[in-house]
Every structure is written in structure tokens, then in C-alpha cells.
Amino acid sequence: MVEEVQRVFVPSVTEEDGGTIGLGCFSSEKVAWEVLRTFLKRSEEMLLTSSSVVVWDIDRIGQEAMTVLATMDCKDCPVCSRRTFWVDLEHFSALCHGSACSAWIEENTIDPEIIDCGWPTIRFLKQTKSIEEAVKELYKLGDRLKAAGVTEQVSGSAEQMMKDHFQQSED
Ligand SMILES: [Zn+2]
């Protein structure tokens, strides 16, 4: 017997010109998120402003059938400057989906007063007191990269260059 679907999860993204792209309709929240995250990896190829995952209850009329699970805004990444930095203001987290970047901001799991931020490429990790401060820290990092001549594409060799640069300046 097939289990009856009671609700569906719908991920979507909105483009800068206001158009919305539906990414499908799923019976599992997990799959909906996977589809959205996979799509966001390509977000540097287009101009997106926001994304969301919405739940729809089946066979219900009107607005109450819909619940917004999460919305994320797309910003320019403080580190790599590409429009691939996805910010979830409700859950205080942000992550750059641009290739080879993954700069992030997250509420500390133990102390919610602390906001962590980081950049895995050089294992950069910093604790701050606010999102604004965390964004500033990442911008500082981005500025240092630009000063070191690392721009645009973060390729393998650029990655090595950055590592060298940061090792030098940390001594
Ligand atoms: Zn980035």
C-alpha cells in the first residue's frame, strides 16, 4: 500500500528580475533541502535574490495551507565577492555556495550569544558578538585576499598562494 502524501515541500529561488523558479515538489523535507542546496551551488551563474522552502498541506484551500519553513537572502560574499553568500536571518546562519569558498557564519551551538564565522580554505575561525561583526571579519579576510592579489576565481594554485600569504602574515 502506498502511503498517502499529506504535505509537500517546495523549494524555490527568486531571480533579481522578480521571477521565481520552482525546483520541484517533494514528499520529504530532506530531499527538498538537498535539491535546493544542489541548485544553490550554481547560483554564481545567475543573479538570485532569495530562496525558500515552503510546505503545502494537500487538499486545503487558501493561505493556511502554506507554511514557510525557511527563507534565505542572497548577498555578495564578503570573502570571494561573488553573489553566492546565502543568509538565513531567522536562524542566524550564512554560507557561501561559490565553488572553493564556503565562507560561513553561524550561531555558536553552546553559547547563542556568540556568533562564529570561518573560512575553511585556510581554517580561519573567529568568534564574534554579532552577525554584523562576523560579516566585518569576513570582509577583512576578503580585503586581505584582494591585497594579496587573489581575485575572481579561487583555483587550486590561488588557494596555495593564500595559504602561503596567511602563514607569512601570522608569524
Ligand atoms: Zn565566497
Identify the pLDDT of residue 2.
Answer: 64
Cα(167) to centroid(ligand 1), Å: 20
CA distances from residue 27 to 31, 35, 123, 153 in whole angstroms, order as listed: 8, 12, 37, 37
Whether the predicted pLDDT of 170 surpasses 80: no
pLDDT tens column, 100-137: 899 999 999 999 899 999 999 999 999 999 989 999 99
Identify the pLDDT of residue 31.
Answer: 97
Dihedral angle, C-alpha 116, 104, 67, 33, nearest 10 ° = -130
CA–CA gap between residue 24 and residue 36 (Å, rounded): 9
**44 DSSP assignment:** G
Identify the pLDDT of residue 171.
Answer: 44
Whether the predicted pLDDT of 153 surpasses 60: no
Whether the predicted pLDDT of 87 surpasses 90: yes
pLDDT tens column, 2-60: 678 899 999 999 999 999 999 999 999 999 999 999 999 888 888 899 999 999 999 99
Cα(64) to centroid(ligand 1), Å: 37
Cα(85) to centroid(ligand 1), Å: 6
Cα(21) to centroid(ligand 1), Å: 23
Beta bridge partners of 126: 117
Strands of 60-103, DSSP E: 66-75, 85-88, 93-96
- Cell triple for 131: 552577525
Give the phi and the psi of residue 57 in degrees, each rounded to 5. -80, 135
What is the pTM assigned to this prediction? 0.79
Cα(139) to centroid(ligand 1), Å: 10
Give the phi and the psi of residue 170 in degrees, each rounded to 5. -85, -20
Dihedral angle, C-alpha 37, 54, 83, 137, nearest 10 ° = -90
Identify the pLDDT of residue 11.
Answer: 97
Whether the predicted pLDDT of 166 surpasses 70: no
CA–CA gap between residue 62 and residue 80 (Å, rounded): 42
